[in-house]
Amino acid sequence: MNIRSLLTCVFTLSSLLSTAGFAETVRAPLAEKRAIFKAAGFQFHHNKWQSECGEPTLELYQDINHDRSPEAIVSSADTGCYGLTGMGFVLLSKTAQGVWRVRYDGTGVPELLKSTGKNRMPDVSVGGPGFCFPVLRWDGSNYRFHRYEYEGKACQISPP
């Protein structure tokens, strides 16, 4: 088992085991967590944040593109929603007006790469089962498919 597969398993397992209203994997002000989870589409119900796909975990809260405004990644885990991958995530950024906006919402395990798109937003590898993962690139308004990659090298997916 390679390191990426091991980390994917650990990351997914930690998400599945999270039972707190706010998982403490990342520190962020309470008001920010509320705004992030709300913008990501979660509802506060019975004293915790949730959706039909489980409780959210704040995985990242930091300025990833050096524009002095934070970004966030929120994950949730549920095989009923996300299949064998078992996890979905929402990548958000805070606008200059202080509003959180969803930049990507999908199934998979995110990995921020050193390569960047517009505005120095990092490319995102979307991991899951298998050995060749899609990499998304920010074009200034959306994250879009850019290439396939595995362990830092280009790869191709053969048609069935």
pLDDT-based confidence at residue 20 (cuts at 50, 70, 90): very low
In a domain, 48, yes or no: no
In a domain, 160, yes or no: no
Q: Establish if 159 belongs to a structural domain.
A: no
Using alpha carbons only, what angle is made at residue 94 by residues 90 and 95, rounded to the nearest 5 degrees? 130
Task: Please report the pLDDT score of residue 2 as a whole number.
Answer: 52
The domain tally of the chain equals 1
Look at residues 106, 81, 105 and name the one whose alpha carbon lies nearest to residue 93. Answer: 105
Q: CA 157 to CA 160: how far, in whole Å?
A: 9
Token pair listed for 81: 């929603």
* Composition of the chain by helix, strand, coil, percent to 5: 20, 40, 35
* Any domain includes 47: no
* pLDDT score of 107 more than 60: yes
Cα dihedral value 54, 60, 43, 11, nearest 10: 0
Sole residue written with tokens 């969803």: 102
49 assigned to some structural domain: no
- For the entire predicted model, the pTM comes to 0.81
pLDDT grade, residue 154 (50/70/90)? Answer: very high
Q: Which of 87, 91, 94 is nearest to 103 (CA)?
A: 91
Average pLDDT, the chain: 87
In whole angstroms, give the CA distance from residue 156 to residue 101: 32
Q: What pLDDT was estimated at residue 15?
A: 42
Q: What is the pLDDT of residues 84-99, one digit of tens each?
A: 999 999 999 999 999 9
Give the pLDDT confidence score for residue 24 in this predicted structure.
Answer: 52
pLDDT of residue 158: 80
Q: Which residues pair with 48 in a beta bridge?
A: 45
Please give the pLDDT value at position 14: 44
DSSP state letter for 158: P
Q: What is the pLDDT of residue 13?
A: 43
pLDDT of residue 26: 84
> Is 99 domain-assigned?
yes
Full domain range(s) for residue 16: 3-42+54-154
